[in-house]
């Protein structure tokens, strides 16, 4: 039985929103609305770039332009990505298992979200009006800093806390590009690892950085940890 749950879209890492076309349109725009926070204790400024990982081309062009302007003002760009940092370090069998475990957690096969052949991604997301977020369309450079956790490490964290992710016959028999109707892991566990664990890690890396000017490119649904104070009392 397929469990009804939010679609986790990543850069791949992890913005949550419904599969419904109307909601996709509500969450997309052609301009990014940045927010600026100042931390008095650390005397540092943080500019937040709330991302939606499927959006209009104009949105990413706007992000790219604004990031470049901030770099010229001395800002360092921090960005998210749960993509494997070195996929060549895994054997084909290990990659297959990692891919299926990732799908068990997210409910989709995470390839190009515009891939018309990928039936695990809702058709509304494959709308031609949208494109996928990428390093290229954001203008991410080698000088920018990745502050996220790769998916293989997130899986390790999950299994250390909850036990091994058990792949069923349904998981093994369902091709990557087929509609995914297998049982996923409980949503509360997915949120704990994919959302809150990443939030804590990125928050800590931002807060403990000695840099005074940071531009953070991160999923729109994750910013409560900055606004709510908590570990980093941004004012």
Residue 156 in any domain: the answer is yes
pLDDT of residue 156 exceeding 50, the answer is yes
Residue 234 in any domain: the answer is no
Residue 55 in any domain: the answer is yes
Domain residues for the domain of 220 are 7-227
* Radius of gyration of the CA atoms of the chain, in A: 18
Chain centre to alpha carbon of residue 14: 3
Return the sign of the alpha-carbon dihedral for residues 59, 62, 68, 73: negative
The mean pLDDT of the chain is 81
Question: What is the pTM (predicted TM-score) of this model?
Answer: 0.81
Domain count, the chain: 1
Residue 23 in any domain: the answer is yes
Residue 1 in any domain: the answer is no
Confidence of residue 101 (pLDDT cuts 50, 70, 90): very high
Residue 10: predicted pLDDT: 33
**β 54-55/145-146 pair status:** unpaired
Give the whole-angstrom CA distance, residue 150 versus residue 98: 11
pLDDT of residue 145 exceeding 50, the answer is yes
Residue 232 in any domain: the answer is no
């Amino acid at each position: 039985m397929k469990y009804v749950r939010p679609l986790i879209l990543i850069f791949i890492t992890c913005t949550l929103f419904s599969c419904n076309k109307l909601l996709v349109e509500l969450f997309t725009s052609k301009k990014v609305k940045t927010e600026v926070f100042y931390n008095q204790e650390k005397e540092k400024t943080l500019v937040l770039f709330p991302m939606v990982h499927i959006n209009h081309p104009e949105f990413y062009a706007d992000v790219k332009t604004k990031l470049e302007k901030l770099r010229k003002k001395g800002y360092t760009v921090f960005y998210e990505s749960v993509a494997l940092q070195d996929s060549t370090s895994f054997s084909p069998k290990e990659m297959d298992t990692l891919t299926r475990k990732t799908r068990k957690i997210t409910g989709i096969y995470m390839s190009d979200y515009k891939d018309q052949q990928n039936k695990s991604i809702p058709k509304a997301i494959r709308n031609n009006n949208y494109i996928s977020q990428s390093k290229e369309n954001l203008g991410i450079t080698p000088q920018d800093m990745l502050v996220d956790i790769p998916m293989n490490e997130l899986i390790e964290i999950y299994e250390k806390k909850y036990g091994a992710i058990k792949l069923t016959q349904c998981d093994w028999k369902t091709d990557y590009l087929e509609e995914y109707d297998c049982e996923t892991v409980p949503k509360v566990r997915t949120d704990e690892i994919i959302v809150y664990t990443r939030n804590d890690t990125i928050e800590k890396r931002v807060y403990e950085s000695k840099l005074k000017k940071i531009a953070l490119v991160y999923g729109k649904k994750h910013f409560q940890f900055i606004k709510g104070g908590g570990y980093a009392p941004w004012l």
